[in-house]
């Protein structure tokens, strides 16, 4: 019988609630901390209600140092990582908090702090490889051409058999 491994993976897209803060661990490794607001609409009775959830994110290493200047309040980012529960005791009372430890942070455009315009479709991804070495990947988003989908972008030229 095959065993099932535990899975701890989270992907979030949201807006930064404040500018990111960078600090250094005793080992000299950089850590950038920021908070994301994730908006969600849900239906209660006959009305749609907006709900906001807030998540704290920690991002480590060279990629964190590189992306920190771009992590400003209001920016839309995508984060891929895992959940980590911190536990501590203070004055005999136990506390815990769940945060996201990011493996990848991708700038999604949106508000840039100066004129509220998008970043022109430019996306930047900063990631930490599993081996621990940092990798920065830049990519430009482009609209797929109509040839990608085998047509002129209008009506389908072929009958679909279903």
> Do the beta carbons of residue 60 and residue 103 sit within 8 Å?
no
Q: What is the 3-state secondary structure (H, E, C) of 34-82?
A: EEEEEEEEEEECCEEEEEEEEEEEEEECHHHHHHHHHCCCCEEEEEEEE
> Do the beta carbons of residue 43 and residue 49 sit within 8 Å?
yes
pLDDT tens series, the chain, 162 aa? 566 788 999 999 999 999 999 999 999 999 999 999 999 888 888 999 999 999 999 999 999 999 999 999 999 999 999 999 999 999 999 999 999 999 999 999 744 444 344 444 444 555 655 444 333 333 333 334 334 344 444 454 556 555
pTM, entire model: 0.65
Cα dihedral angle (99, 131, 137, 33), rounded to 10 degrees? 20
> Do the beta carbons of residue 122 and residue 109 sit within 8 Å?
yes
């Amino acid at each position: 019988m095959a065993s099932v491994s535990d899975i701890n993976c989270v992907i979030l897209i949201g807006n930064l609630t404040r500018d990111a803060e960078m600090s250094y661990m005793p080992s000299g490794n950089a850590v950038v901390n920021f908070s994301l607001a994730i908006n969600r609409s849900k239906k209660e009775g006959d009305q749609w209600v907006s709900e906001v959830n807030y998540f704290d994110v920690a991002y480590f290493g060279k990629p964190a140092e590189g992306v920190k200047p771009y992590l400003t309040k209001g920016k839309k980012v995508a984060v891929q990582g895992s959940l980590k529960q911190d536990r501590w005791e203070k004055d005999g009372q136990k506390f815990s908090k769940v945060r996201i430890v990011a493996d990848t942070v991708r700038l999604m455009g949106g508000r840039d702090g100066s004129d509220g315009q998008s970043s022109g479709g430019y996306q930047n991804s900063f990631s930490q490889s599993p081996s621990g070495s940092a990798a920065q990947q830049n990519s430009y988003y482009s609209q797929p051409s109509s040839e990608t989908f085998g047509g002129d972008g209008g009506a389908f030229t072929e009958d679909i058999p279903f």
